[in-house]
Chains A and B, each alone.
Chain A
Amino acid sequence: DAGVIQSPRHEVTEMGQEVTLRCKPISGHNSLFWYRQTMMRGLELLIYFNNNVPIDDSGMPEDRFSAKMPNASFSTLKIQPSEPRDSAVYFCASSMEGSPLHFGNGTRLTVT
């Protein structure tokens, strides 16, 4: 079991550019989560998918953020256009519904 795989591990981009973060959940898991972590706000849930369908996106900060899950083995989180305040570590997690979460090692995003 390779665990939850996120790419890239680090991303540095300029303000205004589009950023796409990628996640491969654990095979067989039907729930997928995107979290953002900053020093000021800690870990925040951005969006939750169940069986590839977005169930709760109330944590997505603005329309600049969008997430997709085209199939059970892949999800993306896109920021367009990016801003310096989007700088954070973005985590993807997956689980079987109701079971504990398994997190990836995150993508550290820096927007200059």
Chain B
Amino acid sequence: DAKTTQPTSMDCAEGRAANLPCNHSTISGNEYVYWYRQIHSQGPQYIIHGLKNNETNEMASLIITEDRKSSTLILPHATLRDTAVYYCIVSSGTYKYIFGTGTRLKVLA
């Protein structure tokens, strides 16, 4: 499975959109982009995933570039409860997720 690169940390003001980038330049055609987050002392939580089209659900939006080499997770109106570590994972849907170090998002009041 392809490797991903994410910024180590980001801050976002409460109520503003949080845009979390992820680079996956070695992604192959059958690999999906998955996003999970981990709030302190809890297990990772699935957020969203996509193949090549942009996706939206009740939690977030996922924007994937046309060449699929990068993506952005958007939390449209960040709240303090969105403070967490966000993991971008590329996988063909097999069980071997590589979580990496993720982006530590801090939402500021």
Contacts and interface: CB of A to CB of B under 8 A. Distances in A.
Interface of A: 4, 31, 33, 42-43, 45, 48, 50, 55-56, 91, 93, 98, 100-106
Interface of B: 34, 36, 41-46, 49, 93, 95-97, 99-101
Contacts of A48: 95
B95 A43 contact: no
Contacts, number: 39
Contacts of B100: 42
A45 B101 contact: no
Name, among B36, B44, B46, B97, the residue most crowded by chain A CB atoms within 10 Å (CB to CB): B44
Give the interface SS of chain A, mostly helix, strand, loop or mixed. strand
Contacts of B43: 4, 91, 93, 103-106
Contacts of A55: 95
A100 B45 CA distance: 9
Top 6 nearest A-B pairs by Cβ distance?
A103-B43, A100-B46, A43-B99, A98-B93, A48-B95, A103-B44
B104 to A, nearest CB: 13
Given A45-B95, A45-B96, A48-B95, A101 B101 contact: no
A84 B102 CA distance: 26
B83 to A, nearest CB: 17
A104 B49 CA distance: 20
A100 B96 contact: no
A43 B96 contact: no
B101 A42 contact: yes
